[in-house]
Structure 1
Amino acid sequence: MFRALARAIHHHRGLVFVASAVFLALAVAALVYGGRLSTGVIEGTEAEQAQQLAAATTVGSSDTTLAVVFHSDTLRSASPEFQEALKATLEATAKLPTVEGVLSPLGAPKAVAAQLQAGTGHDTLALVRLKGDIREATRAFPEVRAVLSTGPLQATVTGRIAFIDALNRLLEKDLLRAELISFPLALLVLLRVFRTWVASLLPLVVGGLAVLSGVAGVFVLSHVTDMAQYTLNVVSLIGMGVAIDYSLFIVSRFRSELERGLDTQAALERTLDTAGRAVAFSGLAVAVGLAGLLFYRGSYLSAMGIGGALVVAFAVLFALTVLPALLSWLGLRVNRGRVPFPRLFEPKEGLWKGVATWVMRHPVLVLVPTLAILVAVGLPFLRLQLAATDITALPAETEARRGAESLRQLFPRQAANGVLVVVQFPSGSAFTAERMGALYDKSRQLAGIPGVLGVDSIVNLKESMDREAYQELADFPEDMLPKEFGQARDAYLHGSVTVMRVLTEASASSQAARDIVETIRKDRAVGDGRLLVAGQTASDVDAGHFVRENTPRAIGFVMGLMCVVLFVLLGSVVLPLKAMLMNLLSIAGSFGALVWIFQEGHLSGLLGFEPGPIEPSLPVLLFCALFGLSMDYEVLLLSRMREEWERTRDNTQAVAEGLERTGGLITSAAAIMVAVFAAFSLAHVVVVKAMGVGMAIAVALDATLVRILLVPAMMRLFGSFNWWAPKALARWLSWAQHAHGPSDGPPR
């Protein structure tokens, strides 16, 4: 099949170039048209359901409410000048079609106005509620922010929407910065490997095409499904790495076949039949790994899996079509533009064979300490803590982060972590005497939970009012309700739903806040209503449950299907199981390093971030991506060993020769991936930084300790048993391979 593909591309390379140009034009058009990316949500959780119910109330719509701190160095907040400037700005803001309402000290009841005035005498807080859901509010934010910034007063805007907007902008900048850094680094490694400009630039062409097409695909899909902004960074991170690696394998093999004296067509056929086959299986392995994310349905993780698999498919497609067409056109010219390198950088013949031979002479001596190192590196993973990205993920100079700090210092009650308790009654209005009594009892019960500072609700307006007083209010005629109570009713009640805000000094990601959420959920009875909990802490708790519930199935799927893929490639049932173990070791080392660095704060000064719990999606995303990426080197190494095994039937010779032929290529490919991934460690967003660092560490461990030391040692200990398979499976595989066209045998 791969030989036929090579012949077709060689004879019709002009058609390949035309088709590629058309496809590239469509991708550029999709990029220009743009997408509708979001921050990503996990659908169906209790916190998400509760947030939807609460969104109709003013207090419950905090996700779409902007907190604006107005400040003047010269004007006092009580002065007429300050008041007039504030009034003009807020009136202009309220007239925007995307603004639902504005709450400020102007015209508010005295008790509310007092809470919106800072003790400094120069600062005032206003709350601007935007229309629609969080996606619509995010799109409206730039226009609202522009209006708020007019006038003589300094406006600092924070809140969930401001955080999302700042995060998306930083993600875009981080993506551009990483690409600008990773391309030159990758080119430097490629020049070191190929020593010619022409050969070195080819993988970058394929990498650029894959990433551009992957991003365009994400934009197209974002119009029909929820695609998180993070997906672009994932697509760029994975796409650039695998595309350059696949191209490196193919170009290297093509040049090797030319050096053996084959003409261009024969070299291309042999290249695709060997390296091309390995690339196809490697791409399938990476896609299988990323397909594990599809088990997290209803979340942005599933969309990331689709985006990642899409860019890998593009990388394989271009590596097996556009790249062979370019090689067919270039022929021997692929070696033009020689770059002189010092002798220090020249590869030593027999180096990797010598390493493999030494390892196989002392397999136990190598195996035990290497395993001990990997286990020690992975141990911190046992201390993993998960929490969603919050405002601390932004750099300190970001407006949303500065606004959050100002809010915490000037308006501590408004800035306090609020666990949102939502009570939904079966029908009718929540504003009845019986239900007001039940709400009164529940609010006092919640206030007694350890760590709770207080409760904001419809039945916590005045300390002087008791249970009976609130019940009596529910029986008042509409026109006799006190003004303050009428406004509070609109803020806390909507039909059969009411909300309470349970305040605590504990940060949203702390264990103390999680304990409060768990305690609230233990007793859900509120009269005839049901209690749900929302808010950042509740979302973290639910996200953790969601990940733990779906992860076993995802891991089982990825590992099971990966075993099948490797069996079809290698014809052994032993090697796939060993490959699973090797992958788990390198991934565990990466996870341990992530906890040690990003959660516990080691190297935080060097990398420039604030330590804290790990984003729940990060371990899942890294596992699925890295499990497939690790197969890059596994497929390349073991497939070459299999060639030698089929030729010699000598396990020791097969291992030594396989490592000799691929060792330099694996380290070079790993160096490219590490360079690409490390470029993302310079990101401002901690999640992206951690993703880049985690993947770089995993690839480095995989290409050094695992592939160079552990694999030869274990291959030596297992001997010829490495290549064993039940006779029935071996016969089926042999039939399947011949049914799709036999190969003329592996190259020597």
Structure 2
Amino acid sequence: MATSVPSRSDRKKRRGPWFTLLAGLLFLLISGAASAGVLDNLKSGGFDDPGSDSVHAASALERAFPDSQPNLVILVKDARDGVDSSRASAKADDIDRTIDNTSSARVVASYFETPDKALRSGDAGLILVRVDGDENESMRTADELHEKLSDPDGAVSVSFGGITAINNDMNKQVEKDIIAAESIAVPITLLLLVIVFRGLIAALLPMLLATLTIVGALAAVNVAAQFTSVSVFAVNLITALGLGLSVDYSLLIVTRYREERAAGRSNADALRVTRATAGRTVLVSGAVVAAALAALLVFDQYFLRSFALAGIAVVAWAVLGSLLLLPPALVLLGDRIDALALGRRRTAPRPAADTFWGRFGALAFRRPALLATPVVALLLVMAVPFGGAQFGVPDERVLPEDSESRLVTEAVRDDFGAGDDRALNVVSTDWKGTDAQLATYSAELSKTAEVTQVTGAAGVYEDGTKVTALPAQTAAGFQKDGAVRLLVETDLVPYSDEGGDLARDIRAVDPPGDSEVLVGGQAAQLVDITHSIAGKLPLALILIGLFSLLLLFLLTGSVLMPIKALLFNTLSLVGILGSAVWIFQDGHLSESLGFTPSPLAVSMPVLIFCIAFGLSMDYEVFLVARIKERFDRTGDLARSVREGLGGSGPVITAAAAILAVSFFAMLSSGVSLIKMYGLATGLAIVLDAFLVRGVLVPAFMRAVGPYNWWAPAPLKALHRRFGIRESAEEEPRTPAPRTEQTTTDVQREKTGLLP
């Protein structure tokens, strides 16, 4: 008997999936190499607007008066014999020699060289150090000094603090937190996937896609870090969002593929329909999430822009992986995708309308006011604390209470008279006034409400009066080579409304003649950051709204559905931000979650809103696409809602639970910023998936009835030409067995509540 020889086209079809998967493996290897050392290239700051007066003031001080800006504090303590002991002096000499041998560091002031009461407290003395270089260079130098000198538990303890030490500790903490969070999220995610897919092989597909997505995004961020500043906090988004979106899109693709196979389609036909339906949904979803994240690019702070870069990279790889790599994997696996299954799979899946979410959607559709009213009330109550939000800039309080840099920084603030971080700095690098005019200007500044004293080359002033002169050597540190600086001291908390008012009042005092001055310090920094973000926020919101409206319109052909999505998402996210204020600012649950209450970092609400908004629209696309697909087939709104929610609800629930786990795992972090980001985003995902999509969407669709899909005639024509439809040409398929209907079911079917 002759054996048929496969044609060249058949061989190409068989080899094609293997070539695609091998290309994916090659991409993974290249990305892995490109992502090496990524954490070493990322930075801990990025909260400032680089064009603001406070940043320019800090730069001017660094150029003209570098010794006025120590960024590393070394605390030397001899608990047994006191700070004046020979052991403490010997240790201080060792510190001085080590720093002298470090080219980019120098001692600015030391209690052990010029005994100054401001540099001593009890049995401890301070050594103030200036470390040169940009953020990463100064951190590396400080880390080297720390490894050589730090000995918190020695007979003479040596501990490090200051902004550079804080940044170092933050970077190290973030690195540990990522490992801890993933050690929690990955096993739970895999377990949930096995339960959802009822099999190990199917569950492994999303995990493999997540690996590719995360590694690819880390590589992209590492490359970007060679050309621009990127925040280390963006890595937390990559790991959580990479795992979550990969699972989301894999669930959508694999679930739809299984549905089509169970309905009797061949492997090739099932993949074709899956691409035409779930594949289009993935594209729209990815575009919506990327658009929300891209809005962060309009801000000047690289902290926010970093999340945009990282998020867009994650979305791109997740979408490409799910559309290009999952289909060939499904082709090669075929029915083996159900290998290693848990128990026996149903040969005839339960109809979508008969699932829990199908029945619940029908209830919300029948009784919209009964179910929607308490949900709206809950979200409004959650939003109330946001009205009392206070904003600040992250400081040592974001670190664990036992962090070395936090302990030293707090000791310097509370126990020493040096380095008062509440003071405002007034600096001019081109001072054109006389000594008399400098004295007059100093006196005027000291009259400002809430100013305790002003110190400068002209002397120390209180309430408009000179109270003392400065020694010539000290005065030289406030005026030289045409540059002057003034230290404006206050008892106000810098990161507060009152501190901001003081910064504005100081800026309102005119300097003499043509001199230009800059005002810096923490209070001025907060004013500038808030002003910068508030100025760009309307543009970001407009861009998010326009992109979301456009993409949802192209998907649904409706004007009301996109508007509804914007309103519901905004309502739920304001509620989430109110919860963040209640927990992280007001301190509720602080002991349970392990953090120090403090004003919200002014960048965080913007970040949480954009990320959570994009993820909420992700589930909106999942749900509305299914409902629209059913409505296009049947024209029955009640049936479409029940079948659409019944079909997409299990996927949305599983995807939301897994994505929320990725973000809730961040609660294990030692950095309160990451705790807040993880808790707020995870909570937003849960509320959106269960309450907004499960209750408010069906209730709204019942309320507007026939107007759900309404649009003006010109827009309808536009949608007919350019619209995105999650539908595929029907192919003959084996019908699934239909269970007998009860009399009640027949009555419900007549009312459109059952298929």
Assess same fold via TM > 0.5: yes
Moved more, 359-368 or 647-656: 359-368
Check conservation: 2:421, 2:521, Cα contact below 8 A: no
* Residue equivalent to 1:44: 51
Structure 1 residues 342, 641: closer, same or farther in 2, change over 3 A?
closer
Moved more, 189-198 or 705-714: 189-198
When the two structures are aligned, how many residues end up with a matched partner? 713
Q: 1:352 pairs with 350, 354, 357, which one?
A: 357
C-alpha separation in 2, matches of 1:147 and 1:515: 43
* Residue equivalent to 1:573: 559
**Equivalent residues in 2 for 1:555-574, closer than 5 Å:** 555-574=541-560
C-alpha separation in 1, matches of 2:567 and 2:723: 27
> What is the CA-CA distance between 1:565 and the residue it aligns to?
0.6
> What is the CA-CA distance between 1:17 and the residue it aligns to?
1.5
> What is the CA-CA distance between 1:94 and the residue it aligns to?
1.7
> What is the CA-CA distance between 1:165 and the residue it aligns to?
0.7
2:358 is aligned with 1:371? no
Structure 1 residues 741, 90: closer, same or farther in 2, change over 3 A?
closer
> What is the CA-CA distance between 1:298 and the residue it aligns to?
5.3
**Equivalent residues in 2 for 1:677-696, closer than 5 Å:** 677-696=663-682
* Residue equivalent to 1:160: 163
C-alpha separation in 2, matches of 1:534 and 1:704: 47
C-alpha separation in 1, matches of 2:216 and 2:358: 39
* Residue equivalent to 1:707: 693
* Residue equivalent to 1:77: 83
Q: 1:68 pairs with 65, 68, 74, which one?
A: 74
Check conservation: 1:51, 1:60, Cα contact below 8 A: no
Structure 1 residues 627, 469: closer, same or farther in 2, change over 3 A?
closer
C-alpha separation in 2, matches of 1:252 and 1:92: 63
* Residue equivalent to 1:446: 445
2:283 is aligned with 1:280? yes
2:26 is aligned with 1:25? no
Counterpart residue identity of residue 543, structure 2: F
* Residue equivalent to 2:595: 609
* Residue equivalent to 2:386: 381
* Residue equivalent to 1:136: 137
C-alpha separation in 1, matches of 2:95 and 2:23: 55
Q: 1:588 pairs with 567, 571, 574, which one?
A: 574
Moved more, 348-357 or 186-195: 348-357
Q: Deviations over 1:434-453 (max 9, x none)?
A: 53322322333333434333
> What is the CA-CA distance between 1:511 and the residue it aligns to?
3.0
> What is the CA-CA distance between 1:617 and the residue it aligns to?
1.2
C-alpha separation in 2, matches of 1:442 and 1:417: 21
Q: Deviations over 1:560-597 (max 9, x none)?
A: 11111111111222211111112112211211111111
**Equivalent residues in 2 for 1:305-324, closer than 5 Å:** 305-324=308-327
> What is the CA-CA distance between 1:520 and the residue it aligns to?
0.8
SS in 2 for 1:56: helix
Moved more, 719-728 or 645-654: 719-728
Counterpart residue identity of residue 392, structure 1: R
Check conservation: 1:59, 1:499, Cα contact below 8 A: no
* Residue equivalent to 1:431: none
* Residue equivalent to 1:145: 146
> What is the CA-CA distance between 1:46 and the residue it aligns to?
1.3
* Residue equivalent to 1:4: none
**Which runs of no fewer than 5 residues in structure 2 stay unpaired?**
1-10, 736-755
2:247 is aligned with 1:244? yes
* Residue equivalent to 1:294: 297
* Residue equivalent to 1:479: none
C-alpha separation in 2, matches of 1:627 and 1:9: 41
Counterpart residue identity of residue 631, structure 2: W
**Equivalent residues in 2 for 1:360-439, closer than 5 Å:** 360-425=365-430, 434-439=433-438
SS in 1 for 2:73: strand
Q: Deviations over 1:606-662 (max 9, x none)?
A: 111111111111111111111111111111111011111110111111111101111
2:447 is aligned with 1:460? no
C-alpha separation in 2, matches of 1:138 and 1:658: 53
Counterpart residue identity of residue 682, structure 1: S
> What is the CA-CA distance between 1:669 and the residue it aligns to?
1.1
**Equivalent residues in 2 for 1:113-128, closer than 5 Å:** 113-118=116-121, 120=122, 122-128=123-129
Check conservation: 1:572, 1:723, Cα contact below 8 A: yes
2:272 is aligned with 1:269? yes
Structure 1 residues 274, 639: closer, same or farther in 2, change over 3 A?
same
C-alpha separation in 1, matches of 2:109 and 2:208: 54
RMSD: 2.8
2:676 is aligned with 1:670? no
Q: 1:56 pairs with 50, 53, 63, which one?
A: 63
Q: 2:472 pairs with 475, 478, 485, which one?
A: 485
Check conservation: 1:517, 1:538, Cα contact below 8 A: yes
Structure 1 residues 298, 411: closer, same or farther in 2, change over 3 A?
closer
Q: Deviations over 1:345-384 (max 9, x none)?
A: x999432222122222222222333222211111221222
**Equivalent residues in 2 for 1:97-246, closer than 5 Å:** 97-108=103-114, 113-118=116-121, 120=122, 122-149=123-150, 153-246=156-249
Counterpart residue identity of residue 131, structure 1: D
C-alpha separation in 2, matches of 1:9 and 1:282: 30
> What is the CA-CA distance between 1:189 and the residue it aligns to?
1.8
Structure 1 residues 147, 497: closer, same or farther in 2, change over 3 A?
farther
Q: Deviations over 1:665-706 (max 9, x none)?
A: 111111111111110122111111000111111111111111
* Residue equivalent to 2:100: 94
C-alpha separation in 1, matches of 2:350 and 2:682: 24
Check conservation: 1:141, 1:161, Cα contact below 8 A: yes
**Which runs of no fewer than 5 residues in structure 1 stay unpaired?**
1-6, 428-433, 471-481
Check conservation: 2:278, 2:726, Cα contact below 8 A: no
SS in 1 for 2:127: strand
Check conservation: 2:87, 2:156, Cα contact below 8 A: no
> What is the CA-CA distance between 1:133 and the residue it aligns to?
3.4
C-alpha separation in 2, matches of 1:462 and 1:519: 17
**Equivalent residues in 2 for 1:510-525, closer than 5 Å:** 510-525=496-511
The percent identity for this pair of structures is 32
C-alpha separation in 2, matches of 1:131 and 1:310: 33
Structure 1 residues 597, 467: closer, same or farther in 2, change over 3 A?
closer
Counterpart residue identity of residue 391, structure 2: L
Counterpart residue identity of residue 136, structure 1: E
Check conservation: 2:454, 2:488, Cα contact below 8 A: yes
Q: Deviations over 1:516-546 (max 9, x none)?
A: 2122122132443222211222111111111
> What is the CA-CA distance between 1:246 and the residue it aligns to?
1.0
